[in-house]
Amino acid sequence: MKITGKVFDSEAYASTILRIVELVGRKLDQGHRFAIVVGGGRRAREYIELGRRLGIGEAFLDALGIEVSRVNALVMASILGPHAHLPIPRSVDDFLRAWASGKVVVLGGLQPGQSTNAVAAVVSELVGADLLINATDVSGVYDSDPKTNPGARLLKEVTVEELERLASRDAIPGSYELFDLVALEIVKRSKIPLVFLSVYDTENMARLLEGEDFVGTKVVYKTNNSLKLNDA
């Protein structure tokens, strides 16, 4: 199981982060393992903007965002202390080595042209994850953009094909950030159990981790892949 969260986007850093670390720690004690992919957030965007003003090309703008996501990953790994692997992996080979240590592996981006969502999907595949939690800044997948449409309805379940339609270019603008097509292709081919929820509601996340009812969206595949969290 692993948590993907742009948890460093928000100003309310300290408390949310510490609470997530606490939740992870509790599940570690129960024998679960975690890989945590973190996004770059506001500072990544600031560096990318600066870089664009300096005439830096797209690949290196991405690289700047990746480096910032790794700084965020280092923050989370530092709080986890001896439970987390260090240094932060910089490639798939690095990730595999880190994972072999038995520790929680926190990472940011890996490659230009690839979102941290895609990283989370690849990493989930590599470790044979029981669950991929996408903790984002909205409560899950909506039938329209919740940021512009106050009447947008949160979907309890969504098929992967529906999600692909939402993520595709011609679909609702802004939904891109939820999960891009590359990431979806990977979760789809390996039928990785995938859940979207809000990073800010850590009590809700706790309920998910305990196998209880939670507010968010679960991705449904044709053959029935129920959440296997508690059988892991």
Exposure string over 111-121, b if 16+ CB within 10 A, otherwise e: beebbbbbbbb
Any contact of residue 121 with its own copies (CB under 8 A)? yes
**Contact pattern for its own copies over residues 2 through 31, marking x by CB under 8 A:** -----------xx--xx-------------
Residue selected from 34, 47, 179, 196 as contacting its own copies according to rule CB under 8 A: 47
Which range touches its own copies (CB under 8 A), out of 72-80, 149-157, 214-222, 224-232?
A: 72-80
Any contact of residue 131 with its own copies (CB under 8 A)? no
In the three-class reduction of DSSP (H, G, I as helix; E, B as strand; rest coil), residue 163 is classed as helix
Can you tell me the distance from the alpha carbon of 164 to that of 180, in angstroms, rounded to the nearest whole number? 8
Any contact of residue 118 with its own copies (CB under 8 A)? yes
Rule CB under 8 A: which of 139-168 touch its own copies?
Answer: 164, 168
Within 115-207, strands assigned E span 132-136, 157-159, 194-198
Residue selected from 29, 31, 55, 173 as contacting its own copies according to rule CB under 8 A: 55
The one-letter code for the residue type at 8 is: F
Helix axes 160-167, 181-190, angle to 10 degrees: 170
Longest dimension (CA), the chain: 52
Can you tell me the distance from the alpha carbon of 124 to that of 192, in angstroms, rounded to the nearest whole number? 7
Phi and psi angles of residue 142, each rounded to the nearest 5 degrees, phi first: -110, 165
Residue selected from 93, 212, 213, 231 as contacting its own copies according to rule CB under 8 A: 93
> Which ranges in 100-224 belong to alpha helices (H)?
116-127, 160-167, 181-190, 202-209
Residue selected from 10, 19, 45, 126 as contacting its own copies according to rule CB under 8 A: 126
Any contact of residue 199 with its own copies (CB under 8 A)? no
Q: Which residues are paired to 84 by β-bridges?
A: 104
Any contact of residue 110 with its own copies (CB under 8 A)? yes
Q: Which residues bind its own copies (CB under 8 A)?
A: 13-14, 17-18, 43, 47, 50-51, 53-60, 63-64, 67-68, 70-71, 74-75, 78-79, 81-82, 85-87, 90-94, 96-98, 100-103, 110-114, 118, 121-122, 125-128, 164, 168-169, 181-182, 185-186, 189-190
